[in-house]
């Protein structure tokens, strides 16, 4: 099961349209990626592309609190 459209939209607004990745091994300069994303570019791609991400790594936990907004490179590198 995936996140609902509503959960993704809420997560996007909370993130301010920026990547929320805080994974230490990614070595983001300020602790968070913060890349600016484009709402219309959800899915695999290059600059500005993003995906909703399960923050706790559990694909069955589709609560809005577990929905993060990650740029595609951060999302992809967590697998």
- The per-residue pLDDT for range 9-43, each reduced to its tens digit, is 999 999 999 999 999 999 999 899 999 999 999 99
pTM score above 0.75: yes
pLDDT at residue number 79:
59
**Considering its fold, how many domains does the chain have in total?**
1
Residue 59 to residue 8: CA distance in whole angstroms? 14
pLDDT for the residue 1 = 59
pLDDT mean across residues, the chain? 92
> Would you list the DSSP string of 31-51?
SS---B--GGGBSS-STT-EE
Domain span at 14: 5-76
Give 78's pLDDT tier (boundaries 50, 70, 90): confident
């Amino acid at each position: 099961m995936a996140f609902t459209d509503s959960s993704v939209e809420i997560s996007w607004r909370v993130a301010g349209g920026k990547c929320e990745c805080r994974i230490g091994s990614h070595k983001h300069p300020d602790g968070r990626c913060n890349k600016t994303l484009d709402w219309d570019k959800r899915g695999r791609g290059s600059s500005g592309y993003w995906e909703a991400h399960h923050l706790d790594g559990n694909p069955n936990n589709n609560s809005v609190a577990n929905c993060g907004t990650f740029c595609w490179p951060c999302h992809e590198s967590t697998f």
